[in-house]
């Protein structure tokens, strides 16, 4: 029997049976444990570039602030370009030996377009049943987002916003991160989550990755002809792991120091 979109949707949100949950949790734990930052890739093993595309198509499903999707993923496959880019990654092995490099950027200047897109999406989703929720969602995209995302070169708007929220927040809870610098952090948070989804997906494909922040951002932007307002969150090298691709045992500080519980 063919299901209506509503039936399909309600099915997709049904809770997973508990027994499956355990095995999925185990599978996921195994995946997370097997991901390492790999600094050397095997030049002789075949590498399926389609796996990168698949992993990126999962990465864009990552949670992101206000669903603005102010990100881009630049795939550098071409060998010459890759070697030029590897040099700008300070000649790191993880870049030099990578079979493909992904430059993840934030695209702040697209905020107006994305605001319109989201507002239109809300209108469409609530068509014929406008209520308090839809009004709130529209107000969010038509009033609050422009208030938060509009910036000038010197960050004056952001300073004004800081003063406003400090005043309004005297007697009630208020989001305080409203400056131009805060917005940059906000965008890099979302791109970082996408980076993590990408790296996990690549591991699931049987490949490895290394996130890098050691690069000359000015020259990389020039090499890829990026928009002057683009900011590079990180560059990820990927490929099939070389036998000596992991430099050391994984180590983390004690969980008790980093996982704080308020029971
Ligand atoms: C934002 C970020 C930037 C990083 N930059 C580099 C880098 O430039 N070069 C490098 O070799 N590793 C880099 N790493 C990898 C870390 O060194 C690595 O994740 C850490 O040592 C833990 O090892 P693991 O990923 O194998 O668990 C970076 C990781 C992150 C999250």
| Ligand 1 in reach of 95 Cβ (< 6 A) | no
| Ligand 1 in reach of 21 Cβ (< 6 A) | no
Contacts of 49 (CB under 8 A, 6+ apart): 77, 99, 100
In a domain, 68, yes or no: yes
How confident is residue 232, by pLDDT bands cut at 50, 70 and 90? very high
Nearest CA, atom 5, ligand 1: 212
In a domain, 20, yes or no: no
| Ligand 1 in reach of 72 Cβ (< 6 A) | no
- How long, in residues, is the chain? 263
Hey, is 192 helix, strand or coil?
helix
In a domain, 28, yes or no: no
| Ligand 1 in reach of 232 Cβ (< 6 A) | no
The predicted model gives 208-221 an average pLDDT of: 98
Between residues 152 and 129, which one has the greater pLDDT?
152
Is 112's pLDDT higher than 80? yes
- Give me the pLDDT at residue 130, please: 84
| Ligand 1 in reach of 250 Cβ (< 6 A) | yes
Question: Mean pLDDT lowest for which of 126-135, 177-186, 208-217?
Answer: 126-135
Residue 39 Cα to ligand 1 middle (Å): 10
Tell me, what CATH number does 45's domain have? 3.40.109.10
Is 8's pLDDT higher than 70? no
DSSP string of 30-59, one letter each residue: HHHHH--B---B-SSS---HHHHHHHHHHH
The tally of domains found in the chain comes to 1
| Ligand 1 in reach of 97 Cβ (< 6 A) | no
How confident is residue 18, by pLDDT bands cut at 50, 70 and 90? low
In a domain, 42, yes or no: yes
In a domain, 202, yes or no: yes
High-pLDDT (> 70) share of the chain, %: 92
Hey, is 237 helix, strand or coil?
strand
The predicted model gives 22-34 an average pLDDT of: 94
In a domain, 131, yes or no: no
The predicted model gives 191-197 an average pLDDT of: 99
Nearest CA, atom 12, ligand 1: 212
In a domain, 84, yes or no: yes
Residue 219 belongs to domain spanning: 36-108+161-241
């Amino acid at each position: 029997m063919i299901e209506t979109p509503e039936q399909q949707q309600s099915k997709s949100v049904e809770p997973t049976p508990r027994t499956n949950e355990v095995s999925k949790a185990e599978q996921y734990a195994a995946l997370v444990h097997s991901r390492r930052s790999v600094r050397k890739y095997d030049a002789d093993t075949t590498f399926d570039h389609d796996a990168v595309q698949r992993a990126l198509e999962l990465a864009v499903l990552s949670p992101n602030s206000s669903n603005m999707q102010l990100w881009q993923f630049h795939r550098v496959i071409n060998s010459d370009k890759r070697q030029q880019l590897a040099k700008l990654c300070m000649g790191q092995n993880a870049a030099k030996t990578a079979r493909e490099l992904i430059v993840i950027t934030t695209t702040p200047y697209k905020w107006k377009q994305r605001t319109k897109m989201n507002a239109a999406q809300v209108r469409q989703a609530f068509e014929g049943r406008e209520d308090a929720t839809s009004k709130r969602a529209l107000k969010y995209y038509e009033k609050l987002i422009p208030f938060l995302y509009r910036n000038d070169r010197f960050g004056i708007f952001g300073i004004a916003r800081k003063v406003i929220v400090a005043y309004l927040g005297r007697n009630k809870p208020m989001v305080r991160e409203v400056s131009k610098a805060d917005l940059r952090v906000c965008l890099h948070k979302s791109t970082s989550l996408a980076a993590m989804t990408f790296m996990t997906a690549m591991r699931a494909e049987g490949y490895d990755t290394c996130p890098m922040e050691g690069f000359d951002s000015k020259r990389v932007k020039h090499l890829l002809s990026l928009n002057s307002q683009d900011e590079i969150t990180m560059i990820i090298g990927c490929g099939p792991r070389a036998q000596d691709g992991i430099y050391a045992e994984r180590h983390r500080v004690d969980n008790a120091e980093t996982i704080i519980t308020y029971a």
